[in-house]
C-alpha cells in the first residue's frame, strides 16, 4: 500500500548499521529530505558515540547518538521505515524480528499464494529497506548455495520485492520489504534487461568486466583494504565465484524468459568510490549498436537518473561521483555481430544508499528524486 505524506508530516526513520559507508551515505542524503526525520541510528562497534565522532562531516545536525542493536526495543518504537545496512545473515534475523514485533509481520508458517494477498496482509506495516543480500535471491536453495547457510525468514524472502527502482516501480510502491540490488547487478541489469526483453541481444556469451572503488569492500578493518595493499594496483577477486553472479542471472533470466549464465569478473581499483562495467554481448541477427542505443533511450526516456550517451561518447566514474545517476554508452565491436556496453555508477549512491532512498520515495508516494537531486562532483 502506498502512503502519501503531506505538509509537515515526517517519516520517522531508523538506520541500522549507521557507522558503515552505506550508513553514512544514507544519513548524508536523507538530511536533505524534506519529509524525513532520523530517529534511530545503530552501530554496535560505535555504540554510545555521537555521530560527529564517527563521521565528523555529519556533525551538528541534531542526530541521535549511535546505540547497540541489542538495546533497541522495537515494540515500543514509532517508526515508519527502517534502512537495514547490516551484513548478510544478520539482516534476515533482525528484519524478521522487526516485522513480527511491531505487530505486522508474517510468521514462517503463514502461506500466502497470490501476490494480491500480500498487499492485503501488509496494510499499515512498517516499511523495511534492506541493503544486504538476504532477500535479493528468490530461490532459498540458491541463497544457501552462495551464502553458506539456510535462510531463516522464508516467508519474508517470498514477500520481498527486488528493488531495482526503474524496473519494479509498481511493485515497490506496494511493498513493505524491499531488497536493494547489489552495486554490480544494478549497473549490469539497467544496461541489459531492456535489450534482453526486446531480444536485441543473444542470451549466450554475455561477459561483464566490472571495476569498483575500495568502498565496495566495506569499512571494517581488513588487511586487503590497507592503503598500501590497494593503492597503485588493480586486481580481480571472486573470479567465477562472486555472489552477485546469481543475482544478475536471476534478473536477466526473468527478462529474457529463459535461464542464462553470464561471465562476471569484478576488480578492485584504487579509488574511493565509483563503478564502471564493460559488458560484451552478441547481437541478434541484423541488430547494431545503434539499435541497442535506441532501445535504451526508449526504455529510460522518462527516468530522471539514467542517461544514454550519444554515439562515440564514453562514460567514466567522474561523471557520476556522489550522484544517483547512471551513464550508459553502446559501441559496435570490431568483431562482427558483437557490441560493447559501458556503464558507470557511484557504487555508494545508485549502487547502494541512493537507490535505497529512491525506493523509499516510491514506497511513500514521494517524487523519486527527493534528496537525490545533486549532480556529480567533478573533478
Mean pLDDT of 347-361: 98
Query: Percentage of the chain with pLDDT > 90?
Result: 75
**Residue 204: how many CA atoms within 13 Å on its side-chain side?**
1
pLDDT, one tens digit per residue, over 43-65 is 988 999 999 999 999 999 999 99
Q: How far is residue 220's CA from residue 277's CA, in Å, rounded to a whole number?
A: 25
Q: Band the pLDDT of 5: cuts 50, 70, 90.
A: low
Q: Could you tell me if residue 143 is left (phi over 0), alpha (psi between -120 and 50 degrees) or otherwise beta?
A: alpha
Q: Check residue 219 and give its pLDDT.
A: 65
Q: Band the pLDDT of 147: cuts 50, 70, 90.
A: very high
Q: Which of 12, 8, 55 is nearest to 37 (CA)?
A: 12
Mean pLDDT of 362-377: 96
Give just the sign of the alpha carbon dihedral 340, 341, 342, 347: negative
Q: Which of 114, 86, 109 is nearest to 98 (CA)?
A: 86
pLDDT, one tens digit per residue, over 203-259 is 999 999 999 998 776 666 677 777 777 788 899 999 999 999 999 999 999 999 999
Q: Check residue 354 and give its pLDDT.
A: 98
Question: What SS3 class is residue 257?
Answer: coil
Q: Check residue 214 and give its pLDDT.
A: 84
Q: Domains of the chain by range and CATH? A: 11-180 (3.40.50.720), 184-347 (3.30.360.10)
Q: How far is residue 289's CA from residue 252's CA, in Å, rounded to a whole number?
A: 19
pTM higher than 0.75 for the full model? yes
Q: What backbone phi and psi angles, to 5 degrees, belong to 133?
A: -90, 0
Q: How far is residue 346's CA from residue 353's CA, in Å, rounded to a whole number?
A: 10
Mean pLDDT of 18-31: 95
Active site residue 84: no
**DSSP H stretches of helix in 77-153:** 90-101, 115-121, 140-147
93 touches 152 (CB < 8 A): yes
Q: How far is residue 93's CA from residue 345's CA, in Å, rounded to a whole number?
A: 30
The total number of residues written for the chain in this structure: 379
| pLDDT over threshold 50, residue 371 | yes
| pLDDT over threshold 80, residue 170 | yes
Catalytic residue among 183, 208, 283, 357: 183
85 touches 16 (CB < 8 A): yes
Q: How far is residue 1's CA from residue 18's CA, in Å, rounded to a whole number?
A: 27
Mean pLDDT of 5-23: 85
128 C-beta neighbours (distance < 10 Å), count: 28
Q: Check residue 74 and give its pLDDT.
A: 78
pLDDT, one tens digit per residue, over 70-127 is 998 877 788 999 999 998 888 998 998 888 644 444 333 333 343 333 333 333 468 9
Q: Check residue 159 and give its pLDDT.
A: 92
Q: Could you tell me if residue 226 is left (phi over 0), alpha (psi between -120 and 50 degrees) or otherwise beta?
A: beta
pLDDT, one tens digit per residue, over 268-321 is 999 999 999 999 999 999 999 999 999 999 999 999 999 999 999 999 999 999
Q: Could you tell me if residue 256 is left (phi over 0), alpha (psi between -120 and 50 degrees) or otherwise beta?
A: alpha
Specify the DSSP class assigned to residue 283. B
**Residue 261: how many CA atoms within 13 Å on its side-chain side?**
3
Give just the sign of the alpha carbon dihedral 70, 71, 73, 74: negative
Amino acid at each position: 500500500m502506498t502512503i502519501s505524506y503531506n505538509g509537515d508530516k515526517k517519516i520517522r526513520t531508523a538506520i541500522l548499521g549507521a557507522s558503515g559507508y552505506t550508513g553514512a551515505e544514507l544519513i548524508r542524503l536523507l538530511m536533505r529530505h524534506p519529509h524525513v526525520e532520523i530517529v534511530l541510528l545503530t552501530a554496535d562497534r560505535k555504540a554510545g558515540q555521537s555521530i560527529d565522532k564517527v563521521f565528523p562531516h555529519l556533525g551538528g545536525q541534531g542526530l541521535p547518538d549511535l546505540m547497540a542493536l541489542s538495546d533497541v526495543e522495537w515494540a515500543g518504537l514509532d517508526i515508519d521505515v527502517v534502512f537495514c545496512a547490516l551484513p548478510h545473515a544478520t539482516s534476515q534475523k533482525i528484519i524478521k524480528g522487526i516485522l513480527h514485533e511491531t505487530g505486522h509481520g508474517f510468521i514462517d508458517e503463514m502461506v500466502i499464494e497470490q501476490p494480491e494477498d500480500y498487499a492485503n496482509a501488509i496494510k499499515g506495516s512498517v516499511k523495511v529497506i534492506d541493503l544486504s543480500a538476504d532477500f535479493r535471491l528468490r530461490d532459498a536453495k540458491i541463497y544457501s548455495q552462495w551464502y553458506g547457510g539456510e535462510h531463516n525468514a522464508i516467508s519474508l524472502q517470498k514477500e520481498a520485492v527486488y528493488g531495482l527502482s526503474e524496473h519494479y516501480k509498481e511493485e515497490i510502491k506496494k511493498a513493505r520489504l524491499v531488497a536493494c540490488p547489489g552495486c554490480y547487478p544494478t549497473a549490469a541489469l539497467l544496461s541489459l534487461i531492456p535489450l534482453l526483453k526486446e531480444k536485441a541481444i543473444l542470451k549466450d556469451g554475455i561477459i561483464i568486466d566490472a571495476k569498483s572503488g575500495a568502498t565496495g569492500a566495506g569499512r571494517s578493518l581488513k588487511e586487503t583494504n590497507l592503503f598500501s595493499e590497494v593503492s597503485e594496483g588493480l586486481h580481480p577477486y571472486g573470479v567465477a565465484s562472486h555472489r552477485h553472479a546469481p543475482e544478475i542471472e536471476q534478473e536477466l533470466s526473468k527478462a529474457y524468459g529463459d535461464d542464462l549464465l553470464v561471465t562476471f569478473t569484478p576488480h578492485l581499483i584504487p579509488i574511493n568510490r565509483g563503478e564502471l562495467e564493460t559488458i560484451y554481448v552478441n547481437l541478434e541477427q541484423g541488430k547494431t549498436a545503434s539499435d541497442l542505443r535506441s532501445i535504451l533511450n526508449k526504455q529510460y526516456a522518462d527516468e530522471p537518473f539514467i542517461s544514454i550517451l550519444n554515439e562515440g561518447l564514453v562514460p567514466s566514474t567522474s561523471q557520476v561521483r556522489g550522484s544517483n545517476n547512471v551513464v550508459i554508452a553502446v559501441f559496435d565491436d570490431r568483431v562482427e555481430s558483437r557490441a560493447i556496453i559501458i556503464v558507470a555508477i557511484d557504487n555508494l549512491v545508485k549502487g547502494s544508499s541512493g537507490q535505497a532512498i529512491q525506493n523509499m520515495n516510491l514506497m511513500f508516494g514521494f517524487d523519486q528524486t527527493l534528496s537525490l537531486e545533486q549532480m556529480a562532483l567533478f573533478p
